[in-house]
Amino acid sequence: MEEIDWVARWKRLVKDRSTLASGHADSHYWDRRARSFARSTHARADEFLQVLEPYLGPTKTVIDVGAGTGRHTAPLAERLEWVTAVEPSEGMRSHIPQRDNITIVASTWEDAEVAPADLVICSHVMYGVAEPAPFVEKMQRSARERVLVMMRETDLPHPAAELRRRLVGEAGHRLPRFSDLFMLLVQMGIAPDVVYLRYPIVTRYADMDEAIADCSALFGDGWDERAARDELERLLRRDGDELVFDGGLALSGVAHWRPSRS
Ligand SMILES: C[S@@+](CC[C@H](N)C(=O)[O-])C[C@H]1O[C@@H](n2cnc3c(N)ncnc32)[C@H](O)[C@@H]1O
């Protein structure tokens, strides 16, 4: 039987997906999504920090690759000596708190020039990364003690995916998953420890216009705003002054390992 080239497979997944919608790798998408993302993830019970716990300490430093709105950067800055948050989207960066021990680097990871740190973390960033091997190698080179990468195993729990299923009949090309990452790491000669996390995913919008703008960016071809609006009226429920999509329980994996010095 033929061996699978997991790097080539990953690249194909990202390329196929980008014909549907390139949201995950597009910093303008994240600029627009930032407010809803901050609102949706602010209260999310996320055990990623518990996986990190054994490696934390007051003299430790971390690089947060694709830090987003800083939901890991902010609590880590309370515990560690220094956090370097690398984030290409201005909208996402604007939510990261200003602190003396946080450096914000306005760049993609591929282009970032940062000094090594004890830990490198990368949470829910790699879905749109077109060249995964150099991306991972750079994380290895930049980490003195540990690299930790989190991705979802379950499908995108986003209203745009559910809308597409309802209006087009299929969800379209999928994103890379945690298991694709795991096999890619093994192919690269990395044997990571693995922890699985399960948590509910809820997406929150200020109003219907914000929901429409967000969904249209991830829906792909065949977008019909009127039909989408009607369907979203049924999909979203009101919670106080917000509109909420309940994405159910997500399963994510965290791969973590001591970087090799080759
Ligand atoms: C789903 S958010 C995750 C944010 C944060 N890590 C978290 O878990 O809350 C993905 C973030 O990755 C960023 N991103 C996407 N591609 C990136 C790249 N090549 N280098 C660095 N960041 C990237 C996006 O701008 C976005 O803020």
Q: Residue 25: its pLDDT value, please?
A: 65
Distance 132 CA to ligand 1 centre (A): 14
Distance 87 CA to ligand 1 centre (A): 7
Looking from the CA of residue 64, the nearest atom of ligand 1 is 6
Distance 8 CA to ligand 1 centre (A): 22
> Greater confidence, 122 or 216?
122
Distance 156 CA to ligand 1 centre (A): 15
- Separation between Cα atoms, residue 133 and residue 189, nearest integer Å: 11
State yes or no: pLDDT of 256 exceeds 90. yes
- Concatenated DSSP letters for 86-136? E---HHHHTTSPP-TTEEEE-S-TTT-----EEEEEEES-GGG-S-HHHHH
Q: Residue 220: its pLDDT value, please?
A: 79
Q: Residue 262: its pLDDT value, please?
A: 55
> Greater confidence, 213 or 45?
213
**Confidence tier at 221 by pLDDT (50, 70, 90):** confident
pLDDT tens digit string along 158-204? 888 889 888 988 877 888 999 999 999 999 999 999 999 998 888 88
Q: Residue 45: its pLDDT value, please?
A: 55
Q: Are 62 and 80 in contact (CB under 8 A)?
A: yes
Looking from the CA of residue 135, the nearest atom of ligand 1 is 19
CB-defined site of ligand 1, < 6 Å:
25, 27, 30, 41, 65-68, 71, 86-89, 92, 108-110, 123-125, 128-129
- Which residues pair with residue 70 across a beta bridge? none
Looking from the CA of residue 128, the nearest atom of ligand 1 is 16
- Separation between Cα atoms, residue 260 and residue 144, nearest integer Å: 9
